[in-house]
Structure 1
């Protein structure tokens, strides 16, 4: 009997899309399974075995002085990159239009986290850099999965006799992320065996 598999959308398994249900990694403290999630600009890692917990704010703080020049009256915004100056309440800044020195309050704004469709290409998640829980190698080349759901997808996709694109997503699909050596017919059976061992 011929088995068919309809592929998933291009962005189904990325750091962003998987961060809700969790990216499964090796705990840096005990080496057991830990879960990395991301919500509201903050990443968290929690081990399922030991008491390891870590949180990280991924939003960027931008410091700037925004005002109308006292001489030419034109509006300008000056970003403050020096960490020492960022702690001052008021700074002298130069107007980029006329060169006049102005005094203005330092304002702090929080920019949203900018990992848009971040992919995991080296077997590590992008928020803390922890190694993924599901990884193996075939002929010296790394194969990994973000989490159990992604691993099952890989097994189902590679095991099918016929793989097709969904009608609702006619352009790129999740399989477009896969390296050629994984999709090559002569390698598929052996790679599926390796992936099933990971699943077990």
Structure 2
């Protein structure tokens, strides 16, 4: 029996390592990281994209509106003809012109695939992506996988490893009393459910494959 002991970690723990995000300008892989600056008592967050060579801190982002302020969010939710699955797609685009004419999607339950035309769905302005964004700039995470219940996301490889250990454990224990702000306590019930363990582990495997591919491109 595999055991996992939760020592009360928070989501902030995973932000100490570089966070893999999608560049809002070129839509390629980028990094958000923290760095100690002279004469400053705390680490300062920075954004860096090796593809389009953009790099800036939080102050520059706020002063120049660098990010998703002119972007759009495409939200697709369509029931498959099998009646048990859905075609799902959730994505930011830095400009409306970046939205493709069509998207090939697979049903999350059966093998059926379908060509979806985004202009038939809701394309709206969105300033941030909510919970699956980095905590400093609000840019969307690269490591994000859609399941039939919702999104599974991670900041980086350390985050993936910790989530995998938790999900795969048959016995989960904790060593703290206050559960209000801990990472695992705040996870959705469907992620923590043993009934969904196989599906979540498959999603985590996809995250691992994504991270192994993009990690060398996003090191600062």
**Which category describes the TM-score, using the shorter chain as reference length?**
0.5 to 0.7
**CA distance in 2: counterparts of 1:121 and 1:178, whole angstroms:** 15
52, 57, 60: which one pairs with 2:59?
57
* Corresponding residue for residue 213 of structure 2: none
Q: Are 2:134 and 1:132 equivalent residues in the alignment?
A: no
**CA distance in 2: counterparts of 1:48 and 1:150, whole angstroms:** 23
TM-score (normalizing by structure 1): 0.58
Q: Within 5 Å, give how 1:174-185 maps onto structure 2.
A: 174-185=183-194
Which protein has the bigger helix share? Answer: 2
Q: Are 2:7 and 1:4 equivalent residues in the alignment?
A: no
Cα 1:57–1:18 change in 2 (3 A) is farther
* Corresponding residue for residue 104 of structure 2: none
TM-score (normalizing by structure 2): 0.53
**CA distance in 1: counterparts of 2:152 and 2:7, whole angstroms:** 19
Q: Are 2:203 and 1:194 equivalent residues in the alignment?
A: yes
* Corresponding residue for residue 35 of structure 1: 31
* Corresponding residue for residue 171 of structure 1: 178
Cα 1:174–1:140 change in 2 (3 A) is closer
Which protein has the bigger strand share? Answer: 1
Q: Are 2:27 and 1:22 equivalent residues in the alignment?
A: no
- Secondary structure, counterpart of 1:122 in structure 2: helix
**CA distance in 1: counterparts of 2:4 and 2:161, whole angstroms:** 12
Q: Structure 1 residue 33: deviation in Å?
A: 2.6
Structure 2 gaps of 5+ residues are 36-41, 61-128, 210-220
Task: Provide the aligned length of Structure 1 versus Structure 2.
Answer: 134
Q: Are 2:150 and 1:141 equivalent residues in the alignment?
A: yes
Q: Structure 1 residue 181: deviation in Å?
A: 0.8
Q: Are 2:47 and 1:45 equivalent residues in the alignment?
A: yes
- Secondary structure, counterpart of 1:25 in structure 2: strand
**CA distance in 2: counterparts of 1:199 and 1:152, whole angstroms:** 9
1:152-193 deviation digits (Å, cap 9, x = unpaired): 111111011111113xx3432431021101011111111111
Cα 1:7–1:121 change in 2 (3 A) is farther
**CA distance in 1: counterparts of 2:132 and 2:146, whole angstroms:** 11
CA contact (8 A) 1:25 1:34 kept: yes
Q: Are 2:165 and 1:156 equivalent residues in the alignment?
A: yes
